[in-house]
Amino acid sequence: MKLATYGGAFGTDLGAVLGDRLVPLTRLDPALPRDMTALIARWDALKSRVADLVATARETLPLAALSLRQPILRPGKILALGKNYAAHARETGAEVPDRQIWFCKQPTAANGPYDPVDIPRVSDQVDYEAELVVVIGRRGRHIAPEAALGHVFGYCCGNDVSVRDWQKMTPQWMLGKSFDTHAPFGPWITTADEVPDPQALAIACRVNGETRQSSTTSNMIFPVADQIALLSQAMTLEPGDIVFTGTPEGVAMGMTPPKWLKAGDRVEVEIAGLGALDNTMRPEP
C-alpha cells in the first residue's frame, strides 16, 4: 500500500495511492487518524480497515490535482547515515568507514515531495543527496539485526540536501544538514510488505534532467537492518521516526569544479517502486 498526506492551508488528510488516483481515506472514514504518525502507531489495529476502504473505494481523486505534503509532517526524529556508499566516501576524499557515522537533521527541515527547496542567504554551496528513507513503524530498543526489518513501517525517497561550507564548519555536521526545507521526502510511504528487499532498489538523482547519481541500495556498506539495530542501542525508535540511509556517488561536492545547486534548478530523486521527488530550488524567502 502507498500512503500519502495531502491538503493545504486548512488541514491535511490521509490517502492511499492507486496509480494516478488517490483514495481519500480520512474523508471516507472520519474516524481514522488524520495524522500519519498516529496511523502508523495504530497500524496493526487499523490496516485491515484501511485495506477494505481501498478495495471498496466509492470515491477517488486525481493525484495530479492534489497537493501532496511530506508523508509525516513533523517527524519526531530525522536520523541520517553518512558515507554509507564506498564510492561516495572516496569522491569526498574520505576513507571508507568501518563503523556507522550518524548525524541528525532537525524536524524543521522536513519538506514536501514537490515543494521548493531554499538556497539559503548565507551560502551558495548547496548539494543534493538521493537517499532511501526508512519509516519506523514499531517502537523498539536494543533491536537485534535479524528482527530489525520487522520494525519498519515502510520506505520512501529522500533528498539529504546539504550546505557544504556549513557542514564543514565543525566536526559535527548537524548545522549544514538542518537548514529549513532541506529534507524533502515522499512522495508517499510504500509499506514494507511491498518492498521484499530494501537492499535491491535502483536509486537515481537528476538535476535539470541530467543524471548525476545512479546506483542501487545493494551498494550500501551498512544495510538497513544493521542501521536500525545500532541506532536502537542508543535510543528508543518510535513510530514515525525516519532514517536517511546514505547516498551514492555523484554529488556536486565530488565534481571538479563542484556543480552547486542554484535557484531554478530542478532536482528529481527516484527509487524503483517508491516514486520520485521533484523539487525546484529557489532563493530563501
pLDDT per residue as tens, the chain (285 positions): 999 999 976 789 999 999 999 999 999 999 999 999 999 999 999 999 999 999 998 889 999 999 999 999 999 999 999 999 999 999 988 899 999 999 999 999 999 999 999 999 999 999 999 999 999 999 999 999 999 999 999 999 999 999 999 999 999 999 999 999 999 999 999 999 999 999 999 999 999 999 999 999 999 999 999 999 999 999 999 999 999 999 999 999 999 999 999 999 999 999 999 999 999 999 999
| CA dist., res. 68 & res. 218, Å (int) | 29
What pLDDT does residue 10 have? 72
What pLDDT does residue 9 have? 65
User: What domains appear along the chain, each with residue ranges and CATH number?
Assistant: 2-69 (no CATH), 78-283 (3.90.850.10)
**Cell representation of residue 9:** 492551508
Helix and strand numbers, DSSP H then E, in the chain: 8, 19
CB neighbourhood size of 157 (10 A): 27
Cite the DSSP H helix spans in 19-59: 25-28, 36-41, 43-55
Q: What share of the chain is helix, strand, coil (3-state, %, to 5)?
A: 25, 35, 40
What pLDDT does residue 93 have? 87
In angstroms, the first-to-last Cα distance of the chain is 36
The residues that bridge with 6 in the sheet, in sequence order, are 13, 68
Cite the DSSP H helix spans in 22-160: 25-28, 36-41, 43-55, 86-91, 145-148
CB neighbourhood size of 97 (10 A): 15
Contact (CB, 8 A) for 155 and 274: yes
Contact (CB, 8 A) for 14 and 3: yes
Contact (CB, 8 A) for 159 and 130: yes
Whole-prediction pTM value?
0.97
